[in-house]
């Protein structure tokens, strides 16, 4: 009997070592009923479903074809839709997304809407509402990518976004959450130093992007990614955080430094096993707080992988995660049905 149990254990261990993990960039997560969904950067926006946040079924793409407006906003758009954000509002799911060309601010943010996230439901149908805002080289010193929507205490929705250039911004949305409110209201929420000698059309060395605002208790927490992504072992991406009692800021770090002046307290960075940690989202689900992000595994030629880590908050209300959870959390991509 012991021999049989040993063989079973070894078989399970071997299966665990060879199981394919979920490979994603820029993951965001939602829960409908008893099912979790992860959406990520990819051709048409790749998405997965799971019952336990560990075993994930690839569901396919949100867009079968590229958004009709994409090439006009981003002439070098190659079909990969970047950095989605999923929100539930007024009985519908809003999926914000961005199109761009790498290193350029020929970019636009759009939104598509659905009654359900379940692709097997008869009500499942994404309806693209088009472009919400656009950045144009030499006209704008910001980049219209990496959207995230947060609702303030007055019922107003704010679209946070930005990458490099002059930093992270937010703009107020209309009541339908599908366009900017008029008259337009804008805020700058985070930035890093930008030399006046940097050409306006250049992203420059201002390594900040991927805003995500998470409401917990009396605070709004602004997460951002500092550093460089997408460079395998040379990736320096890391996650920083600041907080404010207002959705529109100002956001300050643990030392009281405004994120508009380069502030941001380190939440998690890479180590010898994992590089390029970043482009996170954050949620309260099932009574726990979670940080969702991607990381590049050193032992797997720096392949990007899904990470879901529990967040805890100290007595002063600042979040933390356990670095050891990077190795403990291992997703499983289930075989195609």
Residues annotated as catalytic (active site), given as ranges:
26, 209
Rounded Cα gap, residues 71 and 143, in angstroms = 16
On whether the CB atoms of residues 263 and 255 are closer than 8 A, the answer is: yes
* Cα angle for residues 311, 305, 238 (degrees, 5° grid): 55
Q: Where are the alpha helices (DSSP H) in the chain?
A: 2-18, 70-73, 325-328
Query: Which of 5, 9, 20 lies closest to 297, judged by CA?
Result: 20
Query: Residues 110, 73: contact at Cβ < 8 Å?
Result: no
Q: By the 8 A CB rule, do 291 and 314 touch?
A: no
Rounded-to-integer distance, Cα 157 and Cα 172, Å: 6
Paired tokens of 142: 């910001």
Nearest to 213 by CA among 187, 180, 175: 187
What sign does the CA torsion over 8, 9, 10, 15 have?
Answer: positive
Nearest CA-CA partner of 310 in 259, 252, 267? 267
Q: Are 227 and 237 in contact (CB under 8 A)?
A: yes
CA distance 320 to 241: 10
Distances (CA, A) of 188 to 145, 185, 200, 261, 336: 15, 11, 18, 11, 44
Closest CA to 28 of 36, 17, 20, 19: 36
Measured between alpha carbons, how far is 221 from 241 in angstroms, rounded to an integer? Answer: 7
């Amino acid at each position: 009997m012991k021999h049989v149990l040993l063989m079973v254990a070894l078989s399970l261990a071997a299966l665990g070592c060879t199981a394919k993990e979920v490979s994603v960039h820029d993951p965001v997560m939602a829960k409908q009923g008893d099912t979790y969904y992860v959406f990520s950067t990819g051709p048409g926006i790749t998405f997965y479903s799971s019952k336990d946040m560990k075993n994930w079924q690839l569901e396919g793409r949100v867009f079968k074809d590229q958004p009709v407006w994409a090439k006009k906003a981003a002439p070098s758009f190659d079909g990969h839709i970047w950095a989605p954000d999923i929100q539930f509002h007024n009985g519908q799911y809003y999926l914000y997304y961005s199109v761009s060309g790498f290193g350029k601010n020929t970019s636009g943010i759009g939104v598509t809407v659905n009654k359900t996230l379940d692709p097997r439901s008869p009500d499942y149908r994404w309806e693209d509402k088009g472009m919400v805002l656009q950045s144009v080289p030499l006209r704008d010193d910001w980049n219209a990518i990496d959207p995230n929507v947060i609702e303030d205490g007055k019922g107003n929705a704010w679209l946070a976004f930005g990458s490099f250039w002059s930093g992270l911004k937010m703009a107020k949305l209309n009541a339908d959450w599908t366009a900017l409110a008029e008259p337009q209201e804008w805020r700058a929420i985070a930035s890093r130093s930008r030399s006046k000698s940097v050409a306006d059309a250049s992203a420059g060395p201002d390594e900040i992007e991927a805003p995500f605002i998470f409401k917990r208790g009396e605070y709004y927490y602004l997460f951002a990614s500092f550093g460089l992504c997408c460079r395998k072992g040379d990736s320096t991406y890391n996650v920083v955080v600041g907080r404010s009692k207002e959705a529109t800021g100002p956001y300050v770090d643990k030392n009281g430094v405004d994120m508009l002046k380069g502030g941001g307290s380190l939440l998690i960075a890479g180590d010898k096993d994992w590089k390029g940690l970043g482009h996170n989202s954050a949620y309260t689900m099932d009574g726990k707080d979670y940080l969702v992000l991607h990381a590049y595994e050193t032992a797997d030629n720096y392949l990007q992988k899904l990470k879901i880590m529990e967040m805890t908050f100290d007595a002063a209300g600042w979040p933390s995660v356990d670095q050891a959870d990077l190795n403990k959390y291992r997703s499983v991509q289930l075989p195609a049905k």
